[in-house]
Chain A
């Protein structure tokens, strides 16, 4: 902090004031005002970024419920092939209102598209590297080694086709695995792969939330935290939730630099299906995520009103990882 340097002579001055027995010290001048005003003015709206993000590369509200099922072909054996194209491209994105970050992206957006398939589908992902650095796509899941996206580095201008069977059912993740790994992930090369079980999950309103953050000054710590890239996105534009309707969130933590992340919802508890690969669930209101960890959570609100959800790392919450469920009393259209 820049404050006047306290010198020996300044210290001497302190003594003189003490001897004088000054009745009015500046410290006490504002005491009455402080008592009146300071602690009463905690307006929640003040704890937020200033302004709105307009060039985030995604619309958080649209991204929340958008799933890319790929181009579908029925194979001769009756199976399904889904083809996707992911292109690595450098893009400057707005990571907080007025703050621009030189991101590396899949398809120009952070997070990359949410790919969705059913267990047993043949996935064919055409990867084109239109960026300035070598990249890959490393999918989480069970697949052959040469489809793992680690050693087959794709140089700028090159392409690679990943082909594998979608398994196991659950909530997977994809990200670049080129080195240095931390930088390639932190700069935005990641996305979600949802593999639905052959027996569908119960009908629900479904959302995808990618927990991420940005180290805008490259000092190895995040300046901004978010769900789906835009800090406070669902705080400014609350997620409308219908009372009594089952909500299912596919939640992926891809945050770099911070070892853990979490999800806490207000006024409710949720069921956790770990990695979306289990049928048994935990019942809680606060869930911890390691880096790369992801879970499906399900809940239903029984009361209308505004319910906050956020990381229980308060710092993350107040630096952007905070949102609101606006529970309304409207009929559900989900069967």
Chain B
């Protein structure tokens, strides 16, 4: 009897299949379509600038095929090649290559003219050579990752001896501070994810990627480690620390991506003032990891592993960002970071509510507030 109940699924599914056949195989579809011109939408996903050459990676973000008939640069028609084809089907992608003598450190506008006469423009705000994977550029991006992710996290870990010596209230405060920092980072990542989502081809639904990436990650981590992350045991607290490290790592992956991409297109200005702000701002990530396990005297190797998990993804992100940035990947990675952070914040708050004590006791509330303020204030240093 229990096996037979699944047969009931065939009634709705069968009807649905019949309907699909009816719509696609009869003239119904043409009737619905109407006598309208095709809807053409082209999204530029990435730009590569090589000496004397511009390459655009483009995607068809509309429902109909699009043919790029001509390309102009700065209001001059220019010969180009396109692979695999000048026509992009639905979900189609192509690379447009122009042998164009672009000028370093100046702006250019590439305009694509479709067969129906529509134009899609893409501005290059500052033309600099896109790095290609060489030993030197790989090392550069590795350094970026080290400075953005690994070193600040490692420095933050050194708060451990201090936190260990704090009173119970002090420890509560430092954990709540961690929660505040993470809430700030999570909100930051969410806004960045949504910002990037706008540049995702419409067919891939950027905002849906943000929802799926964040909620999906949250639920996945909840399934995997959520039940183990408890304040009552040393194992549970270590699980919380691992989850924090993982979530910061995922966040830093997205961050490395953005920084690597920005650095690759030459949006880098240097100043000592910014370094100070950077150090203050990002060492807090290391503090966040050690706060839950401060009392448990974790082994050095465990701490180092946690630091690596939190920091090293920044290097990976910088590589991807530097060589193959697309808004789609950035959106997805940032959204995953959001979900991971949300899961950790939930785990932290579960640590706060223990026994008869009210959860929002002064040490907790002030700690969260302090965490937000620290992030905001150190952020001001580099605004």
Check B325 for interface membership: any CB of A closer than 8 A.
yes
The 8 Å CB contact of A4, one of B78, B119, B122, B258, is B258
The interface residues of chain A lying within 8 Å CB-to-CB of B322 are 26
Closest chain A CB from B266 CB (angstroms)? 5
- CB of A14 within 8 A of CB of B269, answer yes
Contact A29/B134 with A9-B281, A17-B270 known, Cβ cut-off 8 Å: yes
Selected from B76, B117, B274, the residue in CB contact (under 8 A) with A12 is B274
How many of chain A's residues have a CB under 8 angstroms from any CB in B? Answer: 61
CA distance A13 to B151 in the complex (A): 12
Total number of residue pairs linking A and B with CB closer than 8 Å: 225
Say whether B273 faces chain A, with CB atoms less than 8 Å apart.
yes
Contact between B113 and A223, CB atoms less than 8 A apart? yes
The answer to whether B278 has its CB under 8 Å from any CB of chain A is yes
Q: Provide the bound-state CA to CA distance between A315 and B77, in Å.
A: 10
- Cβ-defined contact, B281 with A20, below 8 A: no
Closest to B279 in A: A16
Q: Is the CB of A217 within 8 A of B117?
A: yes
Q: For B263, give the chain A residue with the smallest CB separation.
A: A26
- Give which listed residue, A29, A37, A47, contacts B52 with CB less than 8 A: A37
In the complex, B84 has a CB within 8 A of chain A = no
Within 8 A of A (CB), among B351-383: 379, 382-383
CB contact between A50 and one of B71, B137, B192 (< 8 Å): that residue: B71
The verdict on A216 contacting B113 (CB below 8 Å), with A4-B261, A13-B259, A17-B143 known, is yes
| Distance A13 CA – B267 CA, assembled complex (angstroms) | 11
Smallest CB gap from B118: residue in A: A217
Contact A7 B188 (CB under 8 A): yes
A333 within 8 A of B: no
Also in contact, A100 and B270, with CB within 8 A (given A8-B379, A18-B275): no
Contacting residues, chain A, for B180 (C-beta < 8 A): none
Decide if B270 touches A223 in the complex (CB within 8 Å). no
Q: Is the CB of A101 within 8 A of B117?
A: yes
Q: Are B69 and A13 in contact (CB under 8 A)?
A: no
Of A26, A42, A43, A100, most buried by chain B (CB within 10 Å of CB) is A26
* B contact residues around A49 at 8 Å (CB): 70, 77
On whether the beta carbons of B113 and A17 are closer than 8 Å, the reply is: no
Mask, A84-127, CB within 8 Å of B = 1, is 00000000000111111100000000000000000000000000
Q: Is B136 an interface residue (CB 8 A)?
A: yes
A1 touches B125 (CB 8 A): yes
Q: Give the shortest distance, in Å, between B377 (CB) and chain A (any CB).
A: 12
Task: Indicate with 1 or 0, residue by residue over B99-119, a CB within 8 angstroms of chain A CB atoms.
Answer: 111101000000001111111
Partner pick for A5 among B80, B195, B275, CB 8 A cutoff = B195
The answer to whether B274 and A99 touch across the interface, beta carbons within 8 angstroms, is no
Q: Does any Cβ of A come within 8 Å of B262's Cβ?
A: yes
Q: Mark A114-158, 1 if CB is under 8 A from B, else 0.
A: 000000000000000000000000000000000000000000000
Which residue of B is nearest A1, CB measured?
B123
Hey, which chain A residues are within 8 Å of B50, CB to CB? 30
* 1-57 of chain A: CB within 8 A of chain B: 1-20, 22, 24-27, 29-31, 33-34, 36-39, 41-43, 45-50
A255 to B101, CA, bound (A): 30
Contact with A along B252-273 (1 / 0, CB 8 A): 0001011101111111111111
B67 located at the interface, meaning its Cβ lies under 8 Å from any Cβ of chain A in the complex: yes
Question: Given A3-B265, A26-B264, A98-B70, is A41 in contact with B79 using a C-beta cutoff of 8 Å?
Answer: no
Q: Are A99 and B113 in contact (CB under 8 A)?
A: yes
Taking a contact as CB atoms under 8 Å apart, the answer to whether B147 and A20 are in contact is: yes
- Do A15 and B272 touch (CB < 8 A)? yes
Q: Check A319 for interface membership: any CB of B closer than 8 A.
A: yes
Query: Are A318's CB and B117's CB within 8 A?
Result: no
Q: A31 to B116, alpha carbons, bound, how many Å?
A: 40
Docked-complex contact A46 and B78, CB < 8 angstroms: yes
B101 near A41 (CB under 8 angstroms)?
Answer: yes
Q: Is there contact, CB below 8 Å, between B78 and A47?
A: yes
A231 at the B interface (CB under 8 A): yes
Asked whether B72 is an interface residue with its Cβ less than 8 Å from the other chain, the reply is yes
How far is it, in angstroms, between the C-alpha of A1 and the C-alpha of B199 when the chains are bound?
A: 10
In the complex, the chain A residue whose C-beta lies closest to that of B129 is A30
Task: Note all chain A residues with C-beta closer than 8 A to B277.
Answer: 12, 15
Q: Decide yes or no whether B222 CB sits under 8 A from chain A.
A: no
Chain B residues with CB under 8 Å of A24's CB are 136-137, 139-140
CA distance A46 to B216 in the complex (A): 49
Where chain A touches its partner, the secondary structure class is: mixed
* A208-224 interface with B by 8 A CB criterion: 214, 216-217, 219, 223
Shortest CB-to-CB span from B36 to chain A, Å, is 14
Q: Does B128 contact A (CB under 8 A)?
A: yes
B144 in contact (CB, < 8 A): yes
A291 to chain B, nearest CB (A): 20
- Whether A11 pairs with B78 at a CB distance below 8 angstroms is no
A127: shortest Cβ distance to chain B, in Å? Answer: 28
Q: How far is the CA of A25 from the CA of B139 in the complex (A)?
A: 10
Tell me the smallest distance from the CB of A75 to a CB of chain B, in Å. 47
Interface status of B316 (Cβ within 8 A of chain A): no
Query: Would A41 and B144 count as touching, CB distance under 8 A?
Result: no
A320 within 8 A of B: yes
The proximity string for B residues 72-90 relative to A, scoring 1 for CB distances below 8 Å and 0 otherwise, is 1001111110000010000
Closest chain A residue to B152, Cβ basis: A16
Nearest opposing residue in chain A for B126, CB measure: A3
**Option from A5, A38, A318, A319 in Cβ contact (under 8 Å) with B258:** A5
When distances are taken between beta carbons in the complex, the residues of chain B under 8 Å from A8 are 379, 382-383
Flag whether B327 is at the interface (Cβ < 8 A): yes
Q: Closest approach, in angstroms, between the C-beta of B112 and any C-beta of chain A?
A: 11
For window 259-303 of B, CB contacts with A under 8 Å fall at: 259, 261-279, 281-282
Shortest distance between the CB of B55 and any CB in chain A (Å): 14
Q: Which residues of B contact A30 (CB under 8 A)?
A: 50-51, 129, 131-132
Which residue from chain A places its CB closest to the CB of B50 in the assembled complex? A30
List the interface of chain B (C-beta within 8 A of A): 43-44, 50-52, 67, 69-72, 75-80, 86, 99-102, 104, 113-119, 122-125, 128-132, 134, 136-137, 139-140, 143-144, 147-148, 188, 192, 195-196, 199, 255, 257-259, 261-279, 281-282, 321-322, 325, 327, 330, 379, 382-383
Known: A13-B278, A15-B278, A24-B140. 10 other contacts (CB 8 A): A1-B124, A5-B192, A8-B379, A9-B255, A11-B383, A19-B275, A29-B129, A34-B51, A38-B104, A47-B77
